[in-house]
A and B are shown apart, each in its own frame.
Chain A
Amino acid sequence: MSLPELPEKVGNLIGEELEGLNEMIYVRPEDGASFSLNMTAASILELCDGKRSRVEIARLLADALPAGTAPDQAKISDDVDAILANFVDYGLIYADAEAPD
């Protein structure tokens, strides 16, 4: 499966942060499906605005990690791609050919 160059969160997805859970729950109103993401995955999803590239998302994520704790950029990029692939599988971002104009 090829990942979109400019990942974009699907429209109408509603994020709900439940106090004390340290997780985000996303709800897709069309079918009522809900998904739980840890805060790192949730921040990646929020960066998927259809304008940022996957590389840029990985760089922003690396910048947000405390100095000295971040793995190398290639590892972060691989991890971000793996998470984006999951997002595509679960319909949280548009697949390569699906994004609206």
Chain B
Amino acid sequence: MPMPKPPTEKRQKPPFMLSITLNIAHLRVRIHCTESGCSKGIEALTALYEHSEDADGADLCFTIKSSADGIALACDGEYIWTGKEAGEVVAAFEWAFYNHTIAMLYPAFVSLHAATVSWQGHGITIAGTSGAGKSSLCTAALLHGADYFSDEYSLLDKKGYITPFPRPLQWDNNDHPAFSRQDMHDSGLFGEGSYAFTGHDGQPVTSLLWHPRHLGIAPTKMSLLILPRFDASIAAVQVEHVLRSQALMELAEEMHHKLPVQERLRELHHRIPETTRFVRIIFPDVHQAWKQVEQLLTKG
């Protein structure tokens, strides 16, 4: 007598699926999305990372799928967010993607709240709080031929090298007083992406994402650390050399990891090369500031 077949669950294949695997430093990060409304935003946010064809094994796995309450975001099976609107879930994904990835990369890498570019073989890290001018200086560098590593998460390894973490370049506001959108397009150095969501005030928000075309591939040694400060009230760019101890103290405040301050100082002191130069650049005009950086690097 033939054995009865066990009942099989009828699973409906989702009508839409985006599945990508990213290589970030030594991590493999997979993203499965079955919500078509989220896919454009997720693709725009992850476009610059190295994509892997190999779907086997992942260190982190994000899933975005529909649930009874809306669209659900999870990481490694743990619930993170549920939203009614696709853009809201994409915004939550962006936040979770950075936080989980950065946390998993430590201690091989410490993440600094800093931009990094490589120009003519020099690794330049630009650290500072929002509004200090790091994304502006980073954009100016890219317009002058630098390779892009990150505008916000600079991953410093134990040998003093920065590994690419090329999230799309974002400014605090979509329009930047020093760089018109037309100039950015005309340069041919940037692609553009975006995603839209409803802000806290109920108003629609479109987050503009610039995709630099010249990306750093291999890690770059941190040759120069810049502490920028935009100051519209001064006439000309000021460059001040900064002691290593002072730079370490300021940089300790820009680490993404929640460590005691003295531990941050130790980590930074051990990782940042002895040969790294530290400067504070106070500028009223970002283009002038970049010229000063070029001079610093070419004149030694």
Interface residues of A (CB under 8 A from B): 14, 16, 18-21, 23, 25, 27, 29, 32, 34-36
Contact = CB atoms under 8 A, between A and B. Distances in A.
Contacts, number: 39
A30 B214 CA distance: 43
A59 B263 CA distance: 35
Interface of B: 243-246, 248-249, 252-253, 260-262, 265-266, 269, 274
B252 A34 contact: yes
B265 A27 contact: yes
Contacts of A18: 245, 248, 265-266, 269
B262 A27 contact: yes
21 contacts: A14-B261, A14-B262, A16-B262, A16-B265, A18-B245, A18-B248, A18-B265, A18-B266, A21-B244, A23-B245, A25-B248, A25-B265, A27-B260, A27-B261, A27-B262, A27-B265, A29-B260, A29-B261, A32-B253, A34-B265, A36-B246
Contacts of A36: 243, 245-246, 249
A25 B19 CA distance: 48
Nearest to A34: B249
A17 to B, nearest CB: 10
A25 B245 contact: yes
Nearest to B261: A27
Contacts of A32: 253, 261
Contact of B261 (A19, A20, A23, A34): A34
A18 to B, nearest CB: 5
Contacts of A20: 274
Nearest to B244: A21
Contacts of A27: 260-262, 265
